[in-house]
A and B are shown apart, each in its own frame.
Chain A
């Protein structure tokens, strides 16, 4: 299977990329790492006239320390995010989740920003980004704007990035010293999760001082499990507290039904995965 014909441009700066977007408009598709786009083009589910490749824009690659937060460049590859020392220290949940994306070959090409802008509800990075209160830096004709995670994900494969804009980076407030685990349930190795849970916790003297729980594939967008977080904060990190909190994980979620499992199955599964994610984050 070969994509339909398209013209190709590979700008080397964000300005050039925005100019290309302005010129070709809705006839263009952006390619980042291409690990989701190329299968779509090959199956001819989409046939853009132009493909704009961000792979030559070096300024979008790498992770930067910004004081209270870290900035992950949109074109930073999964394999580089998963092994980055700043990410490991200040956003451990992102490191854990990124290391589980697809397989090694895909992680060598796929990018942090590409995956988030694609906004697949079964993608592994949205829930951790949301849980860590990440902000999304979007460049457009009028300059840059910053959108919180709660507004970035708008629906199935739909984000706050409009057609003349690019996601250029993701700013993650430092969660230094927070424990983290990403628990994912897949039917086949290297596939998308049926459901997954990212848990990150700040624990001091056995007491849970901070908790952030993100859910993958429990709705059209990634979700925060606010009820679980509230049930954990201020409590001793005991098995009973964790079990009772995890039981609230599906509250308010409207998970999909598909060949891998119906909505009720996912509502049950997410409570089990939440318990495991919290327990493993705590070192159990």
Chain B
């Protein structure tokens, strides 16, 4: 067993895990954070995408011990739980119906947040390239792309001088 400590969705956690434990397994089985799902288990589909020290990663392709000392954000930590507000990208996926069965949605949202952080105003091509590591087996990509465009527009408005720096920080 190996002792690991990390901050997950703002909460400090310490546990003993087997070195072979995958980060996604630790999140789901160790911490009960089942919002992060396992899709393909081969690091193809991106459904298990989380942020590790601010960068999107496929959590089925990272060992929990590799995340020792890191900051992890899952789909469950995106929204402002105190205010009950959805993250702007979550809001956009709801508004644009950026899902069909919904299984790929946590990963799609986490990757879209990462994309918009690096490129707040992506073109349609840049969005499609930015989420190329995430598969939607319902093939519902059009509305997913629209949701990212919607979020991009909303974040741009929110980032205008009058006040909404909070939402930018939320990215």
> Is the CB of B19 closer than 8 A to any CB of chain A?
yes
- Give the chain A neighbours of B22 by CB distance below 8 A: 2, 38, 42
- For B31-50 the 0/1 string (1 means CB < 8 A from A) is 00000000001111010010
- Known A4-B20, A8-B19; judge A104-B133 contact (CB<8 A): yes
Give Cα A98–Cα B120 distance, bound, in whole angstroms. 22
Question: How distant is A274 from chain B, measured CB to nearest CB, in Å?
Answer: 24
> Is the CB of A51 closer than 8 A to any CB of chain B?
yes
Across the two chains, which residue of chain A brings its CB closest to B50? Answer: A105
- Count of residues in A whose CB is under 8 Å from the partner chain: 30
- Known A2-B22, A34-B61, A55-B66; judge A104-B130 contact (CB<8 A): yes
A105 touches B20 (CB 8 A): no
B115 touches A104 (CB 8 A): yes
B18 touches A190 (CB 8 A): no
A189 touches B132 (CB 8 A): yes
Interface residues of B in 70-123 (CB under 8 A from A): 111, 114-115
Give Cα A4–Cα B20 distance, bound, in whole angstroms. 7
> Is the CB of B63 closer than 8 A to any CB of chain A?
yes
Across the two chains, which residue of chain A brings its CB closest to B128? Answer: A189
- Number of A-B contacts defined by CB within 8 Å: 83
> Is the CB of A7 closer than 8 A to any CB of chain B?
yes
Give Cα A1–Cα B68 distance, bound, in whole angstroms. 22
Question: How distant is A32 from chain B, measured CB to nearest CB, in Å?
Answer: 11
Question: How distant is A179 from chain B, measured CB to nearest CB, in Å?
Answer: 22
A5 touches B57 (CB 8 A): no
- Give the chain A neighbours of B60 by CB distance below 8 A: 42
Give Cα A42–Cα B23 distance, bound, in whole angstroms. 13
Question: How distant is A253 from chain B, measured CB to nearest CB, in Å?
Answer: 28
B19 touches A6 (CB 8 A): yes
Write the residues of chain B forming the contact surface with A, with a CB cutoff of 8 angstroms: 2, 18-22, 25, 41-44, 46, 49, 52, 55-58, 60-63, 65-66, 68, 111, 114-115, 130, 132-134
Write the residues of chain A forming the contact surface with B, with a CB cutoff of 8 angstroms: 1-8, 10, 31, 34-35, 38-39, 41-43, 51, 53, 55, 79, 102-106, 108-109, 189-190
**What are some 17 contacts across the A-B interface (CB < 8 A)?**
A1-B41, A3-B20, A6-B19, A31-B63, A34-B66, A51-B19, A53-B65, A102-B133, A104-B111, A104-B114, A104-B132, A105-B46, A105-B133, A106-B133, A109-B61, A109-B62, A190-B133
